[in-house]
Structure 1
Amino acid sequence: MEKQREKKEFNIFMALLPLLLMITAMGTAVIWLGQDPHLPLIFGTASAAIVALFYGYKWKEIEDMMYKGIRLALPAIVIIILVGLVIGSWIGGGIVATMIYYGLALISPALFLVTITVLCAIVALSIGSSWSTMATVGVAGMGIGMSMGIPPAMVAGAVISGSYFGDKMSPMSDTTNLASGLTNTDLFVHIKHMFYTTIPGLIIALTAFFFLGRQFGGQGNANDAEIAGMMQSLDGQFIISPWLLLVPLAVIVCIAFKMAAIPALIVGIVLGFLCHIIVQGGDLGTAIATLQGGYVIESNNDMINELFNNGGLESMMYTVSMTIVAMTFAGILEYSGMLQAIMKQVIKIAKGTLGIVTSTIVAAFATNATCSEQYISIVVPSRMFLRTYIEKNLHSKNLSRALEDGGTLTSVFIPWNTCGVFIYGVLGVAAWEYAPYAIFNLVVPFISILLAATGIGIEKISDEEREDFLETHYGEEKTKESLTPETV
């Protein structure tokens, strides 16, 4: 029988090596050569596997790590597939066309970025899901904005900013519940504490979008004529009716009443499919083909063709494949202990409140980059930092807020993270293109660090509360002197 090699503890260089190699390959392939990110991620997975083999892991163990990583992403993969079906059925049913038509009629180009940000924030706050918001209101918003001549990256940034604000502040959001639950913080205490960072972040984003949008409000008759032509083309290609707006409203109501995301999306798919046949007059075969391969349209308007040749199951396979590949890389980093080795070094530099909060945000962002999943960016740092916060007499809600500021919000900036992949699949804009315009997501982590530096919005706990927490959650006796702030 083969003797099992002893597993060695990863040093920081070897733990970082697969990540550095993957990022180098990613930069070469994607930025320099203009290729897709799948192969660099596979290269990163292979690099991580070789390092794990060198440190004593057997190949069977490494395979299990990859499969565990993929299993973490399975719920997201199912939703991604369903979103492709939603987009296809809603385009075929005339629902997207109707939303764009009335959006063009009612929204001023100069105020569009502000309006779509606020609208996405309200919807996401109501349903607790940034993904569902971007896949419904966001898709329509992309069509409206592009029809007004606004760059897609700018529109995507506004959609993302509003969607993530609403998701972050909603008591129905999975990440909001996860961050509060893992840190033993009351849900509504957690949400209230996030006001310190999210409200200033939203104000900054809306102000920026107001000034960015002004350049699109002075185009005069040319812009008006272009919008009128777009509306006329929509009216000629689809049956436009305000009754079709009941379909997205039905999905929003379903999620607002705490129906799970998957059945709520299925409701949207069925309603869109029926609208395609009953309202738009499509035949059964065409409606089914649209669900599979997406909607197909040929018109004299290039913008119509670009917007509406979209959707369907097959349109999401690029996104699904990249998610799977990314999670094999993430699985090895997480379950081999490489990520923990990186995190230990991060914790060592944490000195005082500023150092702890900054380290939390950096660790959450690093987890997003290495593990490609925003849920892990909350789970792993929460496990590693909770005791540190309590021992430093910092309330756990400071940690839960930092996890959201550094984990939930920064996930959109990683092209191979499930959030970055999802946004690319739904909005059609890559992470490096919309990143400068996802202003809310950009500024909130820095606001969080600034508050830590000034002490504003940082709540402390008493020595007795600290000892009670450690006794309740770690089984520590209150009399242990080693747990005082001075001796930690």
Structure 2
Amino acid sequence: MKKEINFWLALLPLVVMIIAMLLAVIVFEQAPHVPLIIGTVVAAIVAWKYGYKWKEIEEMMYKGIKLALPAIVIIMLVGLTIGAWIGGGIVATMIYYGLEIISPSIFLVTIAIICAIVSLAIGSSWATMGTIGVAGMGIGISMGIPAPMIAGAVISGSYFGDKMSPLSDTTNLASGLTHTDLFVHIKHMFYTTIPGLLIALGVYAYLGKDFGENASESADIAQTIVELQESFVISPFLLLVPLLVIVLVAMKVPAVPALVVGIALGFLSQVIVQGEPITNALGALQSGYTIDTTNEFLAGLLNRGGLDSMMFTVSLAIVAMTFGGILEFSGMLRSLMNQLLKVVKSTGSLIASTLGACFLTNVTCSEQYISIVIPSRMFAKVYTEKELHSKNLSRALEDGGTLTSVFVPWNTCGVFIFGTLGVHAFAYAPYAILNFVVPIISLIYAFTGFTITKLSKEEKNEILASQAEEEAAG
């Protein structure tokens, strides 16, 4: 006989997993897979205690994995893209021209703005990070800028565009689930996201002062440029490959076929432009590119990519989603959310609870889409009852769900970033300024009432009647 899971027992798997994660990752410097498996085992035991049979628990895990399959496919394709683009000289060309044009002192600001523009145009933070972000890491590291800072700037810019673009899947999801007009939703996000970006750019400008050009750095950059020319055929025509992928996505071609086109062109570039044998090009797709150089810095920069490089990331996504699947489909997450709802007494506490619920879902279910879906279902009626316009909820879902996903190393977003940019979530977290400043701004607005839009009594009653009809139909 299944019954609603007690709050404290629902909390137990999460507490055990977090303790195991802290010990494994921080104390013993190990991978996060085993702590997630430990959390999954504890969650399965709790579900079994409450009447679920093993077959049902197994189905919960499979459902969780199924939710991550689109992300896993993208992760694998990005691995192939990186291998193909490095082998084809595309990444080297982007680094070459980046080093020629961009000053180290303004690099962090520049890469954040470029990523914001590209992501705004195509509506995808992942596609932006997997293309512009990879090249940006190479350029910045060549300038002597720490990788976590570069990753933070890339993430901030990419997530600004993803959050504000009408083409973004998370933006459409948040507006659709809350029945908020898409452009009303985007306009309401201006109040939190634009100040967040300006603060981020200000911080990056301040950090960039430490990387002003000096004789030593100029010599290192010049040496890197020379070695890139010796190792690859550098041509501005190679920049057409990433440009084409960006145009395809902007034209609403799905990410998978757009990336496949990019991979094919990278493969052909390695064979035709770089003049390497097909064997090497296939090897770059499978196990990554290997540059023949005595320069350890350049080798570390370009010896990467390939399908094999993403298997750690793929396995982490699968393990994380088995844990999230049990928490979601056994009702444990619902039990945790219900406890959050009990503390809601004011507009400020309601929006704070929404932000917290979104982050909690990112931690427990490891998927940013779920962090929008579940809280939207749980809070929609409460917002209406408190006479709050749905755009307040849709904005809170994005501020708390979309943006905070990057801070959870086992979330599909944290996993993707680690596999693509090569920087761990704990390392880039202090520099992903936009992603933590925006939720703080949202929290300030919640308690001050600034930009919070109310409903009239008539609108409230009309929406409540509509929600009651939906629940009856569901």
Report the TM-score when normalising by structure 2. Answer: 0.98
| Residue equivalent to 2:423 | 429
Provide the rounded CA distance (Å) in 1 between the counterparts of 2:241 and 2:419.
Answer: 22
Once the two structures are TM-superposed, the CA of residue 340 in structure 1 deviates from its matched residue by 0.1
SS in 2 for 1:475: helix
Measured in 2, the distance between the counterparts of 1:280 and 1:473 equals: 60
Regions of 4+ moved over 2 Å: none
1:411 aligns with 2:412: no
Q: Shift of the alpha carbon at 1:131?
A: 0.3
Pick one of 79, 84, 104 that aligns with 1:84. Answer: 79
CA distance, structure 1, for counterparts of residue 469 and residue 125 of structure 2 = 38
CA displacement at 1:307 relative to structure 2: 1.1
Q: Distance in 2 between matches of 1:297 and 1:275?
A: 16
* AA in 1 matched with 2:211: F
Shift of residue 208 of structure 1?
0.3
Quick check: 1:157 aligned with 2:152?
Answer: yes
- 1:308 pairs, out of 298, 302, 313, with 302
State the SS of the aligned residue for 1:310.
coil
Q: Give the structure-1-normalised TM-score.
A: 0.96
Cα deviation 1:363-410 (Å, max 9, x = unaligned):
000000000000000000000000100111100000000000000000
Any unmatched runs of 5+ in structure 1?
A: 1-5, 477-488
Match in the other structure for 1:486 = none
Q: Does 1:347 align with 2:335?
A: no
Deviation digits for residues 26-78 of structure 1, max 9, x if unmatched?
Answer: 01111000100011111110110011111111000000000000000000000
Is 2:24 aligned against 1:24? no
Separation in 2, partners of 1:363, 1:163? 23
Specify the SS of the correspondent of 1:190: helix
How far is the alpha carbon of 1:96 from its aligned partner?
0.2
**CA distance in 1: counterparts of 2:297 and 2:235, whole angstroms:** 21
Further displaced range: 241-250 or 297-306: 297-306
Q: In structure 2, what is the equivalent of residue 457 of structure 1?
A: 451
Once residues 468 and 397 of structure 2 are traced to their aligned partners in structure 1, the CA distance between those partners, rounded to angstroms, is 21
Alignment of 1:356-371 (within 5 A): 356-371=350-365
Equivalent position to 1:56, from 25, 47, 51: 51
Identity %: 66
Give the corresponding residue for 1:167.
162
Q: Does residue 124 of the first structure (1) align with residue 116 of the second (2)? A: no
Alignment of 1:266-345 (within 5 A): 266-345=260-339
Residue 177 (structure 2) aligns with: 182
Structure 1 letter corresponding to 2:336 = I
Distance (Å, rounded) in 2 between the aligned partners of 1:223 and 1:289? 34
SS of the residue corresponding to residue 358 of structure 2 reads helix
SS in 2 for 1:415: coil
Amino acid of the residue matched to residue 163 of structure 2? K
Number of residue-to-residue matches in the alignment: 471
Structure 1 partner of 2:31: 36
The reply to whether residue 211 of structure 1 matches residue 206 of structure 2 is yes
Aligned to 1:100: 95
Q: Which residue of 2 aligns with 1:399?
A: 393
- What code does the residue aligned with 2:170 have? T
Q: Which amino acid in the other structure matches residue 250 of structure 2?
A: A
Matched, 1:471 2:442: no
Which residue does the alignment assign to 1:479? none
CA deviation profile, 1:97-144 (whole Å, cap 9, x unmatched): 000000000001000000000000000000000000000000000000
Q: Any gaps of 5 or more consecutive residues in structure 2?
A: none
8 Å CA contact 2:381–2:467 kept in 1: the answer is no
Amino acid at match of 1:8: K
Helix, strand or coil for the counterpart of 2:451? coil
Measure, in 1, the Cα distance between the counterparts of 2:230 and 2:183.
49
Give 1:188 deviation, angstroms. Answer: 0.6
The residue type paired with residue 133 of structure 1 is T
CA contact (8 A) 2:76 2:307 kept: yes
8 Å CA contact retained: 2:340, 2:353: yes
| Residue aligned with 1:26, SS | helix
254, 257, 264: which one aligns with 1:260: 254
Contact 2:164 2:186 in 1 (8 A): yes
